[in-house]
Amino acid sequence: MTASVTSGTYDLDTRILEELRIDGRIGRNELAAKLGVSRPTVSKRLNVLLTAGPVHVVGIVHPSTIGLEALAHVSISVDQPVRQVAARVAALSDIPYVSLTSGRYPLIAEIRTPGPQQLAAALDRIRSIDGVRDTNTLFYSDLIIDIGKPEQASVATIDALDMRLLTVLQEDGRASYAALATAAGTSPGTARIRVLRLIDEGIVRISALSKPGQADTEYAVGFGVRTSGRISGLTPLIAELPGLRFLAATIGRFDAVGTIHTTALEDVVATLDTLRALRPVLEVDSWVHLVRVKERYSNTPALPLTREEVS
C-alpha cells in the first residue's frame, strides 16, 4: 500500500514537472484539468515541489536581450578536488552555469558578459583560481538555441518597466502579479499586461529548472562538433535532433557545441549516431553532465533604453 502510494506520488510529481517545464506559470486549475486529478491534490504536490522539491521556476531571457553579448564555454582541468574548484568558479558573478562532467575535462563553465573585455577578464579570474590547471575556451559566434528557447529581443522593444519585471521573473518565475507590481513600481493590472506580452512574444520563457545538486529526472549530455564547410549549413540540421535544448556556433576546438536532454542514455547513442552521419560532420566528442553545481541566469546588467517608459 505504502509503495503504491509512493509510486503514485512520484508519477504525479513527474507529470507536474513536465508541465512546469513547458509553462512555469501554469495555473492550478489548468494543471489539475490537464493531469486529470483534483485541484487540492495538485495544489498540495505543487507546493511541495516549489518549496522543498528538486526544481525552481524561473524566467529565462535571451542573453542579448539583457545586454550580454560576449559568451563562452570553458572546459577546465584541475589539480585539486574538482568539487572544491567548482565551488570557487561558481562564486564568480558572470558565470551562470557550472557542471561536473565526464571526459577529458572534469569541469565545464559558461561565461556571459556584456563585451569582449569583460569576457577576457572573467577568463583571467577563472585561470587565477586555486586548483585550476588549464582552460580551453569556445567563444560563441552565434547562440542558436538557449536553455528555455527564449526569443532574442532588441532593446527598442522593451523599456525600463519591462526590465524590472524581467529581473523579478528571473528570480521567481511564478511571482504573483501583486509581487511583480510592487517590485517594479506599477499596478498589478499593468504588471499582468506587460508580463503576458513578454511571455506571448517569447521574450521570457517561464520554465522549471532542476536545482543544482539535486538528482535530475533526465540526463544531460554535451557534445562538440567539427565540420567541413560552413557551420551555418549544419546548425539547422543539428537543431532538429531530438532532445536538443542548447546549441551554439563556436570559435575554438569545435565549430558547434550543444546539449541533449533525455530520460534514457540509449537515446543519446542514437542521437549521436544521427549527428555523426550528417555529411559535413568530421568529428563528434561528447561528455555527460554528472552534477550541476550552478545554474542561474538572473544577472541582468543595466541597459540603455531607447523609448519612453509607459505604464
Predicted confidence at residue 299, as pLDDT, reads: 59
What CATH architecture applies to the domain 2-53? Orthogonal Bundle (1.10)
Q: Is the pLDDT of residue 288 over 90?
A: yes
Predicted confidence at residue 58, as pLDDT, reads: 94
Average of pLDDT values for 243-260?
96
Dump pLDDT digits (tens) for 59-97: 999 999 888 999 999 999 999 999 999 999 999 999 999
The three three-digit cell numbers of residue 1, written as one number: 500500500
Which residues are CB-contacts of 16 (< 8 A; sequence separation ≥ 6)? 31, 35, 42, 45, 46, 49
Average of pLDDT values for 34-63?
90
Q: Is the pLDDT of residue 267 over 70?
A: yes
Compute the mean pLDDT over every residue in the chain, rounded to the nearest whole number. 89
Q: Is the pLDDT of residue 6 over 80?
A: no
The structural domains of the chain, with segments of one domain joined by +, span 2-53
Dump pLDDT digits (tens) for 201-247: 999 999 988 777 665 667 899 999 999 989 999 999 999 999 999 99
Q: Which of 46-50, 126-130, 170-174, 207-211 has the lowest mean pLDDT?
A: 207-211
Q: What's the half-sphere exposure (Cβ side, CA atoms, 13 Å) at 228?
A: 6
Average of pLDDT values for 95-102?
96
Average of pLDDT values for 91-109?
95
Dump pLDDT digits (tens) for 121-152: 999 999 999 999 999 999 999 999 998 889 88
